[in-house]
Amino acid sequence: MHIMEGYLPVAHAAGWFAASAPFVAAGAVRLRRILAERPQAKMTLAAAGAFTFVLSALKMPSVTGSCSHPTGTGLGAVVFGPAVMAVLGTIVLLFQALLLAHGGLTTLGANVFSMAVAGPWVSWAVWRAASALGASTAVAVFLAAALGDLATYAVTSAQLALAYPDPSSGIPGALIKFGGIYAVTQIPLSIAEGLLTVVVVNALSGRADAVDEIQVLSGGVRK
């Protein structure tokens, strides 16, 4: 989902920075509030960041014959809400842009929007919807993480389609083309991410099958 350095037109790059900035700012405020109100959540918060750090470093083979990486943002979005992931995701993307020449500074706004904003918000919405419909914690976490991961890659496809419409078929044609590269490749990987997120939520909470697993992690229940 990394759009490479210099590969978005200046106006698009600037537009995505403008779109992402408020989410990152709101995320920073929320992060400070969580740390102030629920210091017991600090370790889980750091673990959510670490999970994103690991998963986004792992480029996995997919059935389409190409490789891509999961995002790991669903875990933090489910436990702490989507806002904080804007901050944690930006840190990961900056690391990769500066040290790995992966992604870029000019495309940071666009990449933050797909991985650290759109993905976490979709994860959170899916988590809320699945929980409301009576899904178990494991099923809701799985769906949230998998669909959030997929949403990130769908957004990347859309960002590129907007910037590079097909000469004959326009934006829809370009969307199909970039979607084929990014989103389709991501389907099996997002399922794998969903499964791993269930395992990690469980391991982190240390409470097998507790109904309030997520609440324990978010620091909502004092131990």
Please give the residues from 82 up to 141 whose contact with other proteins meets the rule CB under 8 A.
95-102, 104-106, 138
Q: What is the smallest separation between the CB atom of 111 and other proteins, expressed in angstroms?
A: 10
CA gyration radius, the chain: 17
212 three-state secondary structure? coil
Q: Are 112 and 86 in contact (CB under 8 A)?
A: yes
Using the minimum distance from each CB to other proteins, give the nearer residue, 22 or 220: 220
Using the minimum distance from each CB to other proteins, give the nearer residue, 35 or 64: 64
Dihedral class, residue 72 (left if φ above 0, else alpha if ψ from -120 to 50, else beta):
left
Q: Report the chain's terminal Cα–Cα distance, integer Å.
A: 39
Longest dimension (CA), the chain: 61
Stretch that binds other proteins, among 3-11, 27-35, 77-85, 121-129 (CB under 8 A): 3-11
Q: How far apart are CA 105 and CA 127, in angstroms?
A: 31
CA distances for 183 relative to 59, 153, 160, angstroms: 15, 5, 12
Q: Are 122 and 114 in contact (CB under 8 A)?
A: no
Q: What is the smallest separation between the CB atom of 90 and other proteins, expressed in angstroms?
A: 15
Site string for other proteins, 35-64 (x = CB under 8 A): --------xx-xx--xxxxxxxxxxxxxxx
How many residues contact other proteins, by CB under 8 A?
Answer: 73
CA distances for 114 relative to 17, 151, 168, 189, 210, angstroms: 11, 8, 26, 16, 32
Q: What is the smallest separation between the CB atom of 37 and other proteins, expressed in angstroms?
A: 20
Of these, 91, 199, 211, 221, which contacts other proteins (CB under 8 A)?
A: 199
Of these, 66, 136, 169, 215, which contacts other proteins (CB under 8 A)?
A: 66
Of these, 204, 214, 218, 219, which contacts other proteins (CB under 8 A)?
A: 204
Using the minimum distance from each CB to other proteins, give the nearer residue, 99 or 133: 99
Is residue 212 close enough to count as binding other proteins by CB under 8 A? no
Is residue 221 close enough to count as binding other proteins by CB under 8 A? no
Q: What is the smallest separation between the CB atom of 166 and other proteins, expressed in angstroms?
A: 7
101 three-state secondary structure? coil
State which of positions 170-189 bind other proteins (CB under 8 A). 174, 177-178, 181-182, 185-186, 188-189
* Torsion of Cα atoms, 216 then 122 then 87 then 4, to 10°: 140
Is residue 17 close enough to count as binding other proteins by CB under 8 A? no
